[in-house]
Amino acid sequence: MTQLIKARQGIITPEVEKLAKIEGFRAEELCEKVAQGRVVIMKNKLRKNSVGVAVGEGLRTKVNANIGTSPDCVDFEDELHKIRVAEGAGADAIMELSTGGDIDAFRRKVIASTTLPVGSVPTYQAGMESIFKNGSVVGMKVEDMFEMIERQAADGIDFMAIHSALNRSILERLKNQGRITDIVSRGGAFLTGWMFHNNQDNPLYTQFDRVLEICKKYDVTLSIGDAIRPGCIEDSLDRAQVQGVIVAGELVKRALEAGVQVMVEGPGHVPLDQIPPTILLQKQLCHHVPYYILGNLVTDIAPGYDHITAAIGATTAAISGANFICYVTPAEHLRLPTAEDVHAGVIATRIATHAADIVNGVKGAREWDLAMARARKALDWDKQIELAIDPPTARRIRGERNEEGDVACSMCGGFCAMKVVGEYLGTTEGSC
């Protein structure tokens, strides 16, 4: 049985019990949210080295880090290092998106090397294998698509982005309305080419019940991929995107009825004022299941700084109801990210989601900031660094211009506002 089916029967699983403590909930409360489909427990039933992660309504907003090779850059050790960097920076999940090298072997190594939930996009590997065997992505066989989903699920993948909410009708609408960036989803592009070349509808849509059977068998959390997401802010909330959300909502209903844990993916590039209505639309049409987004990126003009562009959008998105945010690194739109890019992307996204968690009243969020404020008032530098979202960076920056034992920092020195005012108000130890 899946976590969803057990929750509906009132069974509190070990995963729910452990994750409820982490989130500051009673196990019964978390179990009810899982039963409603508003929280998912991302954990394949075959995973032995992971407790899983809870994603959804009322919980701390979670952060995902993408890693993986490309056909032009195959360095598995470097990608494993990036996972360790992402873990150290506080990522909650990893998506393994390799398209180069021995993908099966590397995926299994990734799953064995981390306790975090691991996600994938099976269509990527199915497409790459088709290029090798058939000379092109459009040569994919229908059975190859479903075999790949089963293969990755059997390896222990915890959540899968599967682009089932894409069909010929949506593509016709996209074609008729026109778009600046057409389709920017790699999985969506693979399937679009396949549909036009083979003059068939998307098998992941027409045979959606087969997708559900596999996910139910392994308790893989189904992430309905956003194949039609806007690739620039000008394309946001166009007719094709809205139709894609409508179709996703219909598939969510079928997944919940089948007892499959499900969440929905979203954009992408969205101007700041359109983030709340975009998320409201998704939540209303998709039965309030968890929402997994990239960014949102609120402008298109910042290559090299898109981790900042996305962090601005991520805070607004999480306040508006997004539950799971995929990081964006400084390398977005430019190249494969380095380990340093991964670290910057995770930290930027965690800052953004924490800012939203304060507003949303997530348990422990405001208390963290209060502890930092008190440490600053006390000029307790060790405590401030301990509480920092990135302690090594905070420690390094403080040490660059300050002598060990300095009461104040080198910005104000003896004129430190905290120190001076504290002495006059009698709120600092040793004050006059």
196, 172 contact by CB (below 8 A): no
CATH superfamily of 43-360: Radical SAM ThiC family, central domain (3.20.20.540)
21-71 residue pLDDT tens = 999 999 999 999 999 999 999 999 999 999 999 999 999 999 999 999 999
pLDDT at 409: 76
Distance CA 41, CA 327 (A): 20
Q: Is the peptide bond before 399 cis (omega within 30 degrees of 0)?
A: no
Model confidence at 87: pLDDT above 50: yes
Q: Which residues does 268 contact at the CB level (< 8 Å), separation at least 6?
A: 184, 226, 229, 230, 231, 236, 293, 294, 295, 296, 297
Dump strand ranges (E) for 187-331: 221-224, 262-266, 291-294, 324-326
326-336 residue pLDDT tens = 999 999 999 99
- Please choose, from the candidates 150, 304, 290, 138, the residue with its C-alpha nearest in 3D space to the C-alpha of residue 213: 150
* CATH 3.20.20.540 domain residues, the chain: 43-360
pLDDT at 352: 98
pTM for this one? Answer: 0.95
Model confidence at 432: pLDDT above 90: no
Query: For residue 74, what are the CA distances in angstroms to 2, 100, 106?
Result: 35, 6, 11
- E strand or H helix at 317: helix 306-320
260-300 residue pLDDT tens = 999 999 999 999 999 999 999 999 999 999 999 998 999 99
Q: At what angle do helices 275-285 and 306-320 cross, to 10 degrees?
A: 50
The whole-chain average pLDDT of the chain stands at 95
Model confidence at 351: pLDDT above 70: yes
pLDDT at 416: 77
336-350 residue pLDDT tens = 999 999 999 999 999
DSSP symbol at 61: P
384-416 residue pLDDT tens = 999 999 999 999 999 998 877 677 776 777 667
134-187 residue pLDDT tens = 999 999 999 999 999 999 999 999 999 999 999 999 999 999 999 999 999 999
The sign of the torsion formed by the CA atoms of 133, 139, 143, 147 equals: positive
Mind giving me the DSSP string for 320-341? HT--EEE---TTTTTS---HHH
How far the first Cα of the chain sits from its last, in Å, is: 67
- E strand or H helix at 35: helix 27-36
pLDDT at 428: 61
pLDDT at 431: 41
Using DSSP, state whether 246 is helix, strand or coil: helix
pLDDT at 332: 96
